[in-house]
């Protein structure tokens, strides 16, 4: 029997797992092929040329497997390669920025939205463009938080150090009277309890995960999981430490996962 085509999900590291969790919830019968480039994470401090080259190395790898769709579950990569990947690939390609922007516009009441993300994402202004395209009179404040991703990648999201770093970094946002804050990096939902504590309960945190999975479902159709159907075969591939990846993935997804190692070329290619 022909193997069912899966959904590929890529990220610079473990951040895309926040999107995977939501895909598993909304589309439980879809097999997922995940790739995290943990060895070269963070992407957020790299140049657009590096981000493009590394992202396409991942795309080349995952597209060796027949796919139904590709989710670029990394805001940094979405900002740089989404349009090009959409043109190149014969399957739907879904990014995380437009879904996040849509969810934030639906949530805000006072029109004051904050966006936190990597340096590359904030520099690209991709969220500001997306938000203002939906609603031109919004007030948008962006803040790069380069120290957040390393905390998550090192599995330190629950520590006192994380609380201190998040609190120090987000202080400038507290005077902006925001009612909505976009977690514009897929790693940040793993820090959500600490972020919420720092910004206070009056601010709604937006993660792109739910809206991205909804967009994916709109492309591939509703999930019709049969009662007796065997659970789908998910595979998680990392370019980094499989043990650390497994620890974070199993905790976040509340299930055991199969993790494989795969090295990507170190050199840049254009």
| Contacting residues toward ligand DGL, per CB under 6 A | 11-13, 15, 41-44, 74-76, 117-118, 121, 149, 185-187
- Our CB check for ligand DGL shows the closer of 14 and 138 to be 14
| Catalytic residue flag (residue 185) | yes
Among 69, 185, 205, 206, the active-site one is 185
Closest separation between CB of residue 186 and ligand DGL, Å?
A: 4
Closest separation between CB of residue 77 and ligand DGL, Å?
A: 7
C-alpha torsion sign, points 144, 76, 157, 211: positive
- Our CB check for ligand DGL shows the closer of 44 and 114 to be 44
End-to-end Cα separation, the chain, in angstroms: 38
Among 74, 77, 157, 206, the active-site one is 74
Closest separation between CB of residue 201 and ligand DGL, Å?
A: 25
Closest separation between CB of residue 188 and ligand DGL, Å?
A: 8
- Our CB check for ligand DGL shows the closer of 29 and 125 to be 125
CA distance 136 to 120: 23
- Our CB check for ligand DGL shows the closer of 7 and 209 to be 209
Active site members: 74, 185
């Amino acid at each position: 029997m022909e193997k069912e085509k899966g959904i590929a999900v890529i990220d610079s590291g473990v951040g895309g797992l926040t999107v995977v969790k939501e895909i598993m919830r909304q589309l439980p019968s879809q097999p997922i092929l995940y790739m995290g480039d943990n060895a070269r994470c963070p992407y957020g401090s790299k140049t657009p040329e590096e981000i493009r080259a590394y992202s396409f190395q991942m795309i080349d790898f995952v597209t060796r497997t027949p796919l139904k769709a590709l989710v670029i579950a990394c805001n940094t990569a979405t900002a740089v390669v989404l349009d090009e990947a959409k043109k190149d690939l014969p399957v739907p390609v879904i990014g995380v920025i437009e879904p996040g922007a849509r969810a934030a516009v639906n949530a805000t009441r006072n029109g004051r939205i904050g966006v936190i993300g990597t340096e590359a994402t904030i520099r690209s202004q991709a969220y500001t463009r997306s938000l203002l395209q939906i609603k031109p009179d919004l007030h948008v404040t962006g803040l790069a938080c380069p120290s957040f991703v390393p905390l998550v990648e090192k599995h330190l999201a629950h520590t006192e150090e994380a609380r201190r770093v998040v609190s120090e970094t987000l202080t400038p946002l507290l005077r902006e009277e925001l009612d909505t804050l976009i977690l514009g990096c897929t790693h940040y939902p793993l820090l959500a309890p600490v972020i919420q504590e720092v910004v206070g309960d009056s601010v709604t945190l937006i993660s792109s995960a739910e809206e991205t999975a909804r967009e994916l479902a709109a492309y591939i159709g509703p999930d019709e999981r049969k009662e007796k159907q065997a659970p789908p075969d998910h595979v998680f591939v990392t370019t980094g430490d499989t043990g650390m990846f497994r620890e974070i993935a199993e905790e976040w997804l509340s299930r055991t996962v199969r993790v494989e190692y795969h090295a990507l070329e170190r050199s840049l290619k254009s």
